[in-house]
Structure 1
Amino acid sequence: MPHALNPAYAGVRLRCLMPSRELRRSGLVSRVLDPASDAQPLPGEGVLVVQAKWLLDAGSPAALRDRARRLAEARDRGVRLVLDSFDNYFLNESGDAARAELLIAYREALPLFALFTVSSPGLKPLLEAELAPDLREAAPVRVVGDPVETPAAARDFESWPHRMHPGRWGGHWRAWRELREHRAQRRVARQLVWFGNHGSAYATGGMAELEPLLPLLEAASRRHPLRLTVVSNSEQRYRELLGRAAFPHRYRPWDRLHFLSLLGEQDLVLLPTRMTAFTMAKSNNRMLLALAQGVPVMADPLPDYQPWRAHCALDDWQHLADHIADPAPLAARARAAMPAIERDYSTRAIAAQWREALQAPDPRSSRSSR
């Protein structure tokens, strides 16, 4: 049960559509439910993976409790419920009263689940801290990573007629022209990119993470020509943040069909992150997306980034200008990561993680049989 069916959402693509398709290829019966239909009957057997965001997107405590009631009925019919999280949803940094009430209802629903899956090691302890001791013992929290998308990834969840629909031809043409312009600019200036969601309503982060780098980028631009591309979902936020920056920069709206082609033409990916309870839970998908194409990455040391330290520059911002002037050594380190990414983070490898997690024995069943 995803929170939406739109593949524009990374959580839908990476944690639902792509793994589900691969599980079917491996012989497992797997289907995706329509999250918009609260009237549809839930399965009466098997395992139901529920995205936590589906519960929270109910919009009100009453609606969330109604969804929890439906899940309880499915559980009572013999369905094993799994809750999947890819963010720290317990945050409410603004102190919003409506969200606080929603989180009360969300916490009430947690005992329904026999297993919890999370997208990163950093999220695991944050979720475990919210579980009562008896629930933490009975329902384990397992890390199941995000698959790394490839330029052909859309074939895993969209048909060829859908991908090549005439309504998309304009987008394909714009992307081709953009790529030509980008390649021409790359011959005269280093091409840098930051990409991601502009921010969250319940936690700080997003595009604002670029702000501490602006003076460093200005200084680096005086040493070597550069251009920063910001790929996100808010041009207004981009203009607020970089409107007065004294180096070349531009904004491009997120385009999932063509972004990977643009990413592969970059000289350096910048992933600055303030360490907070929100960002500590982030998975490595943005970093590995770049490394999988051999593109150099500079980032802050999030827990899920640490295993890839040898292949990128972590917490090394004082040498930003050096990496811009000569990205070749960092690019070689990035290319060296490609075999491990293919082995451990392909859609097939991540689907195997899902299969292992979903078919693992239920600790509650083993105790009840003693």
Structure 2
Amino acid sequence: MIAHSVTREEWRDQPFDESRMRIGWYTQRPNPKHASARLRVHGPMALLEARGHECVFYDGTRAPDGLDCIVISKSFTGTAERVLDRAEAAGVPVLYDMCDNLVAKARAEGDDRAERRVIAGLQRAALMTAPTPDLLEKLREQVPGVPGQVIPDLLENTQYLAGLRLSLLERWRLRRLRGFLSRHSGALHCVWFGNSSGAQAGLVHVRERMPELEAFAKHHPITLTIISNTWLAYRRMAPEFGIPTHYVSWSLAGFLPSLRAHRVAIIPVGRNSFTLGKSINRPATALRAGLGVVADALPSYQELGDFIPIDDWQDGLARYASNWREEQDRLAKGLAYIDTHYGDAHVADLWEQALRKTCGGG
């Protein structure tokens, strides 16, 4: 689901409709290979356009003529500051969308300058949005006085991903992965996918949960595939791992077929100020791809406890290894749950509400 951007001339020439909003969007990383761009920029833009609103990318190089409001997606660059300056000069309100707690990340890294930059940017917003209540609560503590609203992540559009064409390199990577899995044909094939943020999130938490996988391997063979963009971090850690592992470089087209080659997605997540506000996106993506999930307990994951094992690594892995058929009904119910509570229509409603608040429409 990639947004179509109309030109400035196109939306100026269209007849005025007071129910239709004209929204500018700025993100530092617009490439849809980034999950934040797909799920919190391109996806919402496409849904809003389908409802008759106008959405354009806006980078502050010109005055925001004709825009009712501007959305900045978790960016605090010089360009984002220029967007804020242009918006303030023109009297156009700004919504800041935050899918990560960048204040907490800066504090954990001891980066006072980055912390001040994030807080200063958020203080200039008419509204800030976040995917979870926990993240929004933390942001409100860090930036008091700025109104906020929860807008969940869109669910990963697996139909769109499945339609992408694989490159020769992606086909080669997939063949290597399948060769690795076939060499361990009797094993429970697990996968971890995601980015790494140093000591805050990512492979560091895979390493912390490796003893759980190694303990399970004493009774049943198991493999782990890493789908990520952190090759060097993997190479440093891999010699420590006591089970067979394989690495696949993340790519947009190659992600879904690589994910579907496995039975279980593992989601180890340490509890810290950066991770506690994480959304349901990762287990939801695995469920939508047809995988089982074993996860550590985050606040946003708890609502899936009736469908997937939470903080129960040994029994959870055993369920998927020995009772895969029996688990299908439970996983199907989990999939129905996330489609009901995080479907496109519901998320689009929340975006409309937030944007109308930002535009001053209540």
TM-score tier (shorter): 0.7 to 0.9
Letter in 1 for 2:126: A
Shift of 1:361: 7.2
Q: Distance in 2 between matches of 1:220 and 1:275?
A: 23
Give the 3-state SS of the residue equivalent to 1:129 in structure 2: helix
Ranked by relative contact order (alpha carbons within 8 Å, sequence separation 6 or more), the top structure is 1
Q: Distance in 2 between matches of 1:131 and 1:199?
A: 23
Shift of 1:274: 1.1
Shift of 1:16: 0.2
Letter in 2 for 1:125: E
Q: Greater CA deviation, 328-337 or 236-245? A: 328-337
Q: Distance in 1 between matches of 2:336 and 2:179?
A: 31
Q: Alpha carbons of 1:315 and 1:180: their partners in 2 closer, same or farther (altered >3 Å)?
A: closer
2:193 paired with 1:191: no
What pairs with 1:106-255 in structure 2 (closer than 5 Å)? 106-132=118-144, 135-136=145-146, 139=147, 141-154=148-161, 164=165, 169-174=167-172, 177-178=175-176, 180-181=178-179, 184=182, 187-200=185-198, 204-255=200-251
2:347 paired with 1:350: yes
Q: Alpha carbons of 1:196 and 1:70: their partners in 2 closer, same or farther (altered >3 Å)?
A: closer
Q: Alpha carbons of 1:214 and 1:45: their partners in 2 closer, same or farther (altered >3 Å)?
A: closer
Q: Distance in 2 between matches of 1:244 and 1:112?
A: 46
Query: Match for residue 269 of structure 2?
Result: 273
Q: 1:100 aligns with which of 107, 112, 116?
A: 112
Q: Distance in 1 between matches of 2:336 and 2:320?
A: 25
Shift of 1:68: 3.4
Query: Match for residue 35 of structure 2?
Result: 10
Q: Distance in 1 between matches of 2:317 and 2:224?
A: 13
Q: Distance in 2 between matches of 1:151 and 1:186?
A: 27
Letter in 2 for 1:89: L
Structure 1 contact 46–78 (Cα < 8 Å) conserved: no
Shift of 1:188: 2.3
Structure 2 contact 126–358 (Cα < 8 Å) conserved: no
Structure 2 contact 64–90 (Cα < 8 Å) conserved: no
Q: Distance in 2 between matches of 1:353 and 1:212?
A: 37
Q: Alpha carbons of 1:95 and 1:230: their partners in 2 closer, same or farther (altered >3 Å)?
A: closer
Letter in 1 for 2:187: A
Query: Match for residue 94 of structure 2?
Result: 81
Q: Alpha carbons of 1:252 and 1:267: their partners in 2 closer, same or farther (altered >3 Å)?
A: same
Unaligned runs of 5+ in 2: 1-25
Shift of 1:324: 5.0
Q: Distance in 2 between matches of 1:213 and 1:102?
A: 31
If the length of structure 2 is used for normalisation, what is the TM-score?
Answer: 0.83
Aligned CA-pair RMSD: 2.7
Shift of 1:79: 1.5
What pairs with 1:234-313 in structure 2 (closer than 5 Å)? 234-313=230-309
Shift of 1:177: 2.5
Q: For each residue in 1:90-137, what CA deviation from the matched residue of structure 2 results, as whole angstroms up to 9, or x when unmatched? A: 1234554xx3123223322333211110022220111010123xx24x
Q: Alpha carbons of 1:320 and 1:339: their partners in 2 closer, same or farther (altered >3 Å)?
A: closer
Letter in 2 for 1:153: Y
Give the 3-state SS of the residue equivalent to 1:90 in structure 2: helix
Q: Distance in 2 between matches of 1:205 and 1:100?
A: 20
Q: Alpha carbons of 1:104 and 1:229: their partners in 2 closer, same or farther (altered >3 Å)?
A: same
Give the 3-state SS of the residue equivalent to 2:350 in structure 1: helix
Structure 1 contact 44–77 (Cα < 8 Å) conserved: no
Q: Distance in 1 between matches of 2:83 and 2:153?
A: 28
Q: Alpha carbons of 1:338 and 1:325: their partners in 2 closer, same or farther (altered >3 Å)?
A: closer
Q: Distance in 1 between matches of 2:280 and 2:56?
A: 26
Identity among equivalent pairs (%): 26
Q: Greater CA deviation, 302-311 or 143-152? A: 143-152
Unaligned runs of 5+ in 1: none
Structure 1 contact 297–330 (Cα < 8 Å) conserved: no
Give the 3-state SS of the residue equivalent to 1:104 in structure 2: helix
Q: For each residue in 1:13-59, what CA deviation from the matched residue of structure 2 results, as whole angstroms up to 9, or x when unmatched? A: 110011111211121111223x5xx534334530211112x21xx2x
Runs of 4+ that moved beyond 6 A: none
Letter in 2 for 1:106: V
Q: Distance in 2 between matches of 1:228 and 1:176?
A: 15
Q: Distance in 1 between matches of 2:246 and 2:291?
A: 20
Equivalent pairs, count:
335
Q: Alpha carbons of 1:234 and 1:172: their partners in 2 closer, same or farther (altered >3 Å)?
A: closer
Structure 2 contact 127–358 (Cα < 8 Å) conserved: no
Q: Distance in 2 between matches of 1:177 and 1:29?
A: 43
Shift of 1:214: 1.8
Q: Alpha carbons of 1:208 and 1:102: their partners in 2 closer, same or farther (altered >3 Å)?
A: closer
Shift of 1:305: 0.8
Q: 2:67 aligns with which of 37, 45, 49?
A: 45
Q: Distance in 1 between matches of 2:184 and 2:334?
A: 24
Letter in 2 for 1:144: I
Give the 3-state SS of the residue equivalent to 1:42 in structure 2: coil
